[in-house]
Chains A and B, each alone.
Chain A
Amino acid sequence: MSKLRILVPVKRVLDYQLKPVLNAARTGIETQGFKFSINPFDDIALEEALKLESALPKGTVTTHAVSIGSNLQCRDILRNCLAKGIHDVTWINSGKYDLQPLAIAKILKQFVTQGDYNLVLLGKQAIDDDSGQTGQMLAGLLNWSQLTNASSVTVESDNITVTSETDGIQDQVLRASLPCVVTADLRLNTPRYVPLPKLMKVKRKPIKELSLEKDFSNVDIQSRLNIVSLNEPVVKKSGIVVGSVDELIAKLKESKVI
C-alpha cells in the first residue's frame, strides 16, 4: 500500500451557535468581539485524519492542515490542529481578497499538487456560507474521485470506502482508489478536545505562512458571483391563541382566508 498523505483544509468561521449580526454597511457580518472557531465539519474531517493515522501501521500516514484566510487567528486554529496531533500546518494569508468556493478550490488544487497529497479530507460544508461546494470543485479540478458526505471511512490498501448519507434513499456505500477527495458529514465521528499540555508545547511554534498574492499569483481567484445585498431573514410574526371557534372563524374571515 502506498503512503497516505492526508491534507485537511480547515476554515475559521463564526461560532455556529452565535447569531450573526449584519454590519452597518450590510456588506458582511460583525466580527469584532465574536467567538470564531474551526468549522465544525472541518473539525470532524480533522478527527478522521487523526483516527486514520492511529488505525494504520505506524509511519504510513502523514497529516497536514491548511487554512486560507486573512485573520491572524487562523494560526490559533492551526495550533489547535497541531496540539491534537496533526503533523504539519500551513496558513495561506489571503490578504485583502474575499474568496468564493471556486477560488478556494483552485488555491487548494495548487497546494495539493505541490505538496503531493493523495487524500484530501474536508468538511462537507462551511457553516458560515453553507455553500457545500469546495470539496466537489476541488475533486473536479484535480480530476480525482470524490466521496461526499461520509459517515464512515475505511482505508484498505489503495482503496477508500465510505458510507454516504443521502436524503430519502438508504445510505450509499461508495468506493474509490487513491487519490481522492472525501467530505465529512456530521455523524462521522465526535472530535476530540484540544489537549492543553500539547497546546502549551506548540504555543510559540512559528506557523508556516504563504501569501496568496506571492505564492499563488497564477491562480485566478476572480469572483464569479456578485453579492447584491445582505439582509436579515424576515421575522415571522408570532401566532395568536383564539378563545373560541367563533373567534377563529371571525379572524379567518377578517384576513380573507375564508
Chain B
Amino acid sequence: MLSFVNYIKLCASRRSHLLTKTTFQRYGYSTIKLTSDNYPNLKRNDNFKKITSDDLAYFQSILTPQELIIAKDKDELNLYNTDWTHKYKGQSNIVLKPKSVDKVSLIMNYCSKERIAVVPQGGNTDLVGGSVPVFDELILSLSNLNKIRSFDELTGILKCDAGAILEDVDNYLKDKGYLFPLDLGAKGSCQIGGCVATNAGGQRLLRYGSLHGNVLGLEVVLPDGTILNSMHSLRKDNTGYDLKQLFIGSEGTIGIITGVSILTPTNPKSTNVSFLAVKDFKDIETVFKRAKRDLSEILSAFEFMDMKSMQLTKKHLAETDGSMTFPLENEHPFYILIETSGSNKEHDDAKMEKFLEDVMGDETVIDGTMAQDVTEIEKIWKWREMIPESCQSEGAVYKYDVSLPLSKIYSLVESTNAKLLKEDLLYDPVKNPSGPVIGAVGYGHIGDGNLHLNVAAKEYNKIIEKCLEPFIYEAVSELQGSISAEHGVGLQKKNHLHYSKSPVEIKVMKDIKNHFDPNGVLNPYKYV
C-alpha cells in the first residue's frame, strides 16, 4: 500500500525533473569536442599566465580543501568545463569555491595582478557558452556562497548571496507568503547571481517586469578585488549613476556579483493555468489580445509552443517519466499556456471562465483544458519547461533566442525549416534517413515578443551551423529584432553582436569593459 507521504513525493517531483542526467548519461562527455578544436580561429591569449605551483600555493593558503578543486585527470572537471547544451568544453584544471566575499576579493586581486584569466560560474545553465572556460581559465564557482542574508516581511526585500539557488530561494519566500519575481526552467540549478549576471527573463517577466526593475542593489567584487557595495533596501535612490544596472546582464565580464538585494512580490493566493490549442499562429495573437483585455491584471504568463516542440517533449517524457499524460487528446498546430495569478479565487475563476467561454465560443481556441488542482498546474507547466531538455535529447541543439514583432515571430521558424529542407539536412525516415537535423521548433514567452527557436539535431556539425548562421541573425536584424532576447551573448553570439548593436554602442561597451578590467582577466574570449 502506498502511503500518502509517498503519494506526495511521487507527485511533487518538480525539482528533480529539471536537468535530468539522462542526456548526459546517454551521450557522455567524451563525445563533446573541445571549444578550442571546434573554433580554431580562437587563440589563447598569451598575456594570460599559465598557473604555476606558486599560484596554487597561494590559493591553498587562503582556501580550505572544500573550497578548492585541483583536477588530477582531465575528466574530473567535466561538470564545470562543459556547458548545458554540450556545445562548448573548456580545459580548466582548477575550480575555486570560496565561502566568503572577502575570499572572492582576495582571489580577484591576486588574479588581476598575476594576469590569471577567470570565468565566474553560477549554476552553469547558461545557454550561450558564457559560463565555461574556452581554454585554461580558472573557474570561480559561487556555489559555496549560498545563504539568505535577510528578508523583510513588510517590504518584501530579500538580500541573499549570489550563489543561492533560485528554487531554494523561491521556496523560502513562498513559506513567507512571497515569491521570487523570476521563474525559469533551470530553477533547480541556476543561481540568483547567475540570473542577475545574465539578466534572465523567464516566465514571470510578463507580470513582474525585468531584473533591471526589481534588483535594488548589488554587492560586486571588481576585477582588482575592490568590493563595490550597494546592497540597498531603497526603492527610490536618485543619487547619480545607477551603477548596479551595468552589472545586470554583464555576463561576468566586469565584476563578480556576490550579493543581491531584490524586491519580491507577494505570492498570489489564487493561480489558474489553462492549456489551449489553436489552428494557426494568427489565432495566438487573437487569444493574446483577448487575454490582455479580459484577464488584464491577473494575467501572469502567456507562453506558446508549436506542435513539433510538444512532439519532442512527448517522446522525451515517455522515456523519462511515465506519469506525464499529454493534457489534450489530440495534436494541434499550436498550443498556448495561460496562467493567471491573483488574490481572490472567485474573482479570478469568474474572469477565466468568461475568457475561456469567449475564445472557445467562436472556435478561436479549438481544444484545451484547465488545471483542476495544483498537481495539474505543475504538470502543465512541466510540458512547457521540459522543451529545452527535450530538444537536446537527440544529441544536440542549436538555440536561438530572439525578440521579434509579435506578428513576425513564427515566420522565422518556418523559413528556418524551409532552409534546412532545401539544404537536405532535415531527417526523414524514408526520404532522408541520414539527415542530421530533427527539425526547427518554436516556443517561448510570446507575451514578451520572445521566440525560442531551437534546432534539434543528432550532432553538432559545421554544415548545420553554416546553414543556420548568419541566416537567422540576418533575418532577425532585417525585422529589427534582437538576436538575444534573454540568454545573452556569451561565446555563441560574440561575432554577431553587430546585428543588434551599432558600432558606437559596441565601442562604449568595450570602453566600460576596459575601465573595470584593464587586464581583461574576467571571462575573456566572450563578447567584449
In the complex, A37 has a CB within 8 A of chain B: yes
Please, how many angstroms separate the alpha-carbon atoms of A196 and B344 in the complex?
23
Whether A197 touches B360, Cβ cut-off 8 Å, given contacts A127-B4, A185-B2, A186-B10, is: yes
Structural contact, B369 and A16, CB atoms closer than 8 A: no
| Chain B 354-385 interface 0/1 with A at a Cβ cutoff of 8 Å (1 = within) | 00110011000111111111111000000000
- Secondary structure type dominating chain B contacts: mixed
Please, how many angstroms separate the alpha-carbon atoms of A40 and B328 in the complex?
19
Please, how many angstroms separate the alpha-carbon atoms of A80 and B370 in the complex?
10
Structural contact, B373 and A203, CB atoms closer than 8 A: no
| Chain A 194-212 interface 0/1 with B at a Cβ cutoff of 8 Å (1 = within) | 1111011001000000000
* Tally of B interface residues using CB under 8 Å: 36
In the complex, chain B residues whose CB is within 8 Å of the CB of A203:
357
In the complex, chain A residues whose CB is within 8 Å of the CB of B2:
165, 185-187
Contact of A149 among B1, B329, B360 (CB under 8 A): B1
Structural contact, A35 and B345, CB atoms closer than 8 A: yes
Structural contact, A190 and B360, CB atoms closer than 8 A: no
In the complex, A38 has a CB within 8 A of chain B: yes
Please, how many angstroms separate the alpha-carbon atoms of A167 and B2 in the complex?
8
Which chain A residue shows the least CB distance to B271?
A35
| Chain B 334-363 interface 0/1 with A at a Cβ cutoff of 8 Å (1 = within) | 000000000011000000000011001100
In the complex, chain A residues whose CB is within 8 Å of the CB of B1:
149, 165-167, 185
Contact of A196 among B276, B323, B373 (CB under 8 A): B276
| Chain A 71-110 interface 0/1 with B at a Cβ cutoff of 8 Å (1 = within) | 0000000001000000000000000000000000000000
Please, how many angstroms separate the alpha-carbon atoms of A109 and B12 in the complex?
35
In the complex, chain B residues whose CB is within 8 Å of the CB of A194:
369-370, 372
Interface-centre pick from A149, A192, A203 (highest chain B CB count, 10 A):
A192
How many inter-chain contacts with C-beta < 8 Å in the A-B complex? Answer: 84
In the complex, B7 has a CB within 8 A of chain A: yes
Structural contact, A196 and B274, CB atoms closer than 8 A: yes
Whether A15 touches B374, Cβ cut-off 8 Å, given contacts A33-B345, A165-B2, A187-B2, is: yes
Please, how many angstroms separate the alpha-carbon atoms of A166 and B356 in the complex?
43
Structural contact, B7 and A186, CB atoms closer than 8 A: yes
Which chain A residue shows the least CB distance to B367?
A197
Please, how many angstroms separate the alpha-carbon atoms of A192 and B183 in the complex?
27
In the complex, B435 has a CB within 8 A of chain A: no
Contact of A195 among B12, B329, B357 (CB under 8 A): B329
In the complex, chain A residues whose CB is within 8 Å of the CB of B345:
33-35
In the complex, chain B residues whose CB is within 8 Å of the CB of A33:
269-270, 344-345
In the complex, B325 has a CB within 8 A of chain A: yes
Within 8 A of A (CB), among B1-43: 1-2, 4, 7-8, 10-12
| Chain A 1-29 interface 0/1 with B at a Cβ cutoff of 8 Å (1 = within) | 00000000000000111100000000000
Within 8 A of B (CB), among A152-206: 165-167, 185-187, 190, 192-197, 199-200, 203
In the complex, A130 has a CB within 8 A of chain B: yes
In the complex, chain A residues whose CB is within 8 Å of the CB of B8:
16-17
Please, how many angstroms separate the alpha-carbon atoms of A16 and B329 in the complex?
26
Structural contact, A38 and B344, CB atoms closer than 8 A: no
Structural contact, B367 and A16, CB atoms closer than 8 A: no
Within 8 A of B (CB), among A209-240: none
In the complex, chain A residues whose CB is within 8 Å of the CB of B7:
40, 127, 186
| Chain B 141-157 interface 0/1 with A at a Cβ cutoff of 8 Å (1 = within) | 00000000000000000
In the complex, chain B residues whose CB is within 8 Å of the CB of A165:
1-2
Interface-centre pick from B274, B275, B323, B375 (highest chain A CB count, 10 A):
B375
Name the distance in Å between A110's Cβ and chain B's nearest Cβ.
29
Structural contact, B372 and A200, CB atoms closer than 8 A: no
Please, how many angstroms separate the alpha-carbon atoms of A130 and B370 in the complex?
27
Contact of A18 among B11, B371, B374 (CB under 8 A): B374
Contact of A193 among B4, B344, B365, B376 (CB under 8 A): B376
A-B contact pairs, 12 of them (CB 8 A): A33-B344, A35-B345, A35-B373, A35-B374, A185-B1, A186-B7, A190-B323, A193-B327, A194-B370, A196-B365, A197-B360, A200-B361
Query: Top 5 A-B pairs ranked by shortest CB distance?
Result: A37-B373, A17-B374, A193-B369, A196-B368, A193-B327
- If A16-B375, A199-B370 are given as contacts, then 5 extra A-B residue pairs at C-beta distance below 8 Å, sorted by A number, are A193-B376, A194-B369, A195-B367, A195-B369, A196-B356
